[in-house]
Structure 1
């Protein structure tokens, strides 16, 4: 009975962490592995419900200027501001780069760490490991909030 509970809760905690990485990676790999990617800045000139647009000014060699690129409209993007960005390959879509972009990309993992800590504490009864997971998630989410 005890082994079954440990195996089930361990599997649930692991799946939560994998889901957090899975949710973060599509953005994180573009923002973190910038070698060979176009990087520059966007000056946000207009925002809709889901996206903002503006002209793109290249910084990296081989990158070309664009009259209009699209960035996701979040609390971290405001009209009239200029942001360092990386162009998503093959598109006119950009993502925030630098420390703020990296931390923002890993926010889903931060939430997963917090959720997994509850499973580890309650289901596995490993309170120290749960505190480490919760602390890591809290630090990641707080750092992302402060960076944006």
Structure 2
């Protein structure tokens, strides 16, 4: 009986590590999707340009000039991050039924997927160390690193 029991331990460890890696990647994708959906599925949403006039610790406000005949508005906000600075002009899309904006284009898309990039890097450690799959770990780390580096240079 002890032989069957001890031979199942590596499989249980592998399954547990796979579950941890899966949870990390799913959590990263879930955290990213809140902003990324507005960048990726922006057809039919209100597009325009935001000129940032002021920032607090959490949000920035400014003048939103929508595409089309609608007039400019000043009640729109965008999350304050390294990607947004006072005086900058950014292409944005409006989140439906809100006054919140999300950056569009390559910079906005890469910025929206940053949590997934971090999750892929963390999952690479679990995949390589816990599951002992170095090639898959390198693929995960490379994808996460490329996403983070791409966002850094795009912003």
TM-score bracket relative to the smaller structure: over 0.9
1:141 Cα deviation (Å)?
0.2
Q: Take 1:129 and 1:41, find their aligned partners in 2: how far apart are those partners?
A: 41
In structure 2, the residue corresponding to 1:84 is in which secondary structure?
A: strand
The superposition leaves residues 41-78 of structure 1 with CA deviations (integer Å, 9 ceiling, x where unpaired) of: 0000111111111110012x476531231111111111
The correspondence of residues 25-104 of structure 1 with structure 2, limited to 5 A, is: 25-59=33-67, 61=68, 65-104=72-111
Gaps of 5+ in 2: 1-8
In structure 2, the residue corresponding to 1:34 is in which secondary structure?
A: coil
Q: Which residue in 2 is equivalent to 1:6?
A: 14
Q: Which residue in 2 is equivalent to 1:108?
A: 115
Q: Take 1:95 and 1:65, find their aligned partners in 2: how far apart are those partners?
A: 17
Contact 2:61–2:74 (CA under 8 A) maintained in structure 1: no
RMSD: 1.2
Gaps of 5+ in 1: none
Q: Take 1:100 and 1:81, find their aligned partners in 2: how far apart are those partners?
A: 14
Q: Which residue in 2 is equivalent to 1:127?
A: 134
Q: Take 1:48 and 1:17, find their aligned partners in 2: how far apart are those partners?
A: 31
Q: Take 1:138 and 1:20, find their aligned partners in 2: how far apart are those partners?
A: 14
In structure 2, the residue corresponding to 1:77 is in which secondary structure?
A: coil
TM-score (norm 2): 0.91
Q: Count the aligned residue pairs.
A: 147
Q: Take 1:82 and 1:50, find their aligned partners in 2: how far apart are those partners?
A: 18
Q: Which residue in 1 is equivalent to 2:3?
A: none
Q: Take 2:116 and 2:71, find their aligned partners in 1: how far apart are those partners?
A: 33
